[in-house]
Chains A and B, each alone.
Chain A
Amino acid sequence: MKNLDSLFAAYLIGWGIFFVYYLTVARRTSALKTEIERLKNSQHRSS
């Protein structure tokens, strides 16, 4: 089982990068949804 640590490190880091990216997209989407809601509310209030 030579180099098992390298194999694990490569797959773990690779999947970690995808997972973190997926989380950032989800977080940005949720923040933007809140922002749009806020903007639409202030638009209704001003009209």
Chain B
Amino acid sequence: MWRRLIGGLAVLALVGAAAYASFYIAPEERTMGLVQRIFYLHAACGLTMFTGFFICFCSNIAYVFWRNPKSDALAVSAAEVGLVFSTVNLVTGPIWAHPAWGIWWTWDARLTSAFVLWLLYIAYLLLRTLVEEPERRALLSALFGIFAFLDVPLVYGSIRWWRTQHPQPVLMGGAGSGLEPTMLKVFFFSILAMHALMVLLLVDRYGLEKMRGEAEIVRRELEAA
């Protein structure tokens, strides 16, 4: 109990410090001004979403090979948490785009592939509600989860392979890309804070999924008796 409370408070402090750094430490961008500070939340959530979906992908593969219910529990937890970060990424994007581009949304390669990724993981979670039998549900959703992850490299590469309305990458983007050193430090700190938040949410969500498994076992025993 105390460990969870201290962990929660530490993550809260880290997220608060990241927000403070984004507002007050990072220098103001010359062309976009104040609104560019959304970047530290928007892009950090995007990268954390990738981590969440990658954990889901690895757990799905592990389930297909070893059929361990723990892998299935971790996969669904990571998918749900990844989806939350994806939602924040998709919501903060248009709020930044409107003052910066003059439009809320455009169907360019990055935005469209990110929206499709969000839909794919919604479908992944919906699929799980449609199948009653636990083993069958776990296998079907694992296979679908592996397929859904194929969109992640597409989202990542879209701004590298095609000309888009979305800005070009600031990390590993080649010549001409990059961030001012203080901005880069604040960005890395924001990524760290978002990953800490992801771990906190993932631990809680995984605990819930384990309890669901326990409840299912007790229910089966009751039905059999």
Contacts and interface: CB of A to CB of B under 8 A. Distances in A.
Interface of A: 1-4, 6-7, 9-11, 13-15, 17-18, 21-22, 25-26, 28-29, 32-33, 35-36, 39-40, 42-43, 46-47
A14 B19 CA distance: 12
B222 A14 contact: no
A22 B219 contact: no
Contacts of A14: 41, 45, 88, 91-92
B51 to A, nearest CB: 15
A42 B92 contact: no
A10 B92 CA distance: 5
Contacts of B87: 17
Contacts of B204: 22, 25-26, 29
Main secondary structure of the interface of B (DSSP, over half): helix
Contact of A25 (B34, B98, B205, B218): B205
Interface of B: 15, 19, 33-35, 37-38, 41-42, 45, 84, 87-88, 91-92, 95-96, 98-99, 197, 201, 204-205, 207-208, 211-212, 214-215, 218-219, 221-222, 225
B218 A6 contact: no
A26 B5 CA distance: 13
Contacts of A36: 211, 214-215, 218
A21 to B, nearest CB: 5
Contacts of B218: 36, 39-40, 43
B225 A13 contact: no
A29 B211 contact: yes
A2 B31 CA distance: 12
A28 B45 contact: no
Contacts of B88: 13-14, 17-18
Which 8 pairs between the two chains have the least Cβ-Cβ distance? A3-B35, A10-B95, A10-B38, A39-B218, A10-B92, A14-B88, A3-B99, A21-B84
Given A18-B197, A43-B222, 6 more contacts: A11-B19, A18-B88, A25-B205, A28-B208, A36-B214, A46-B222
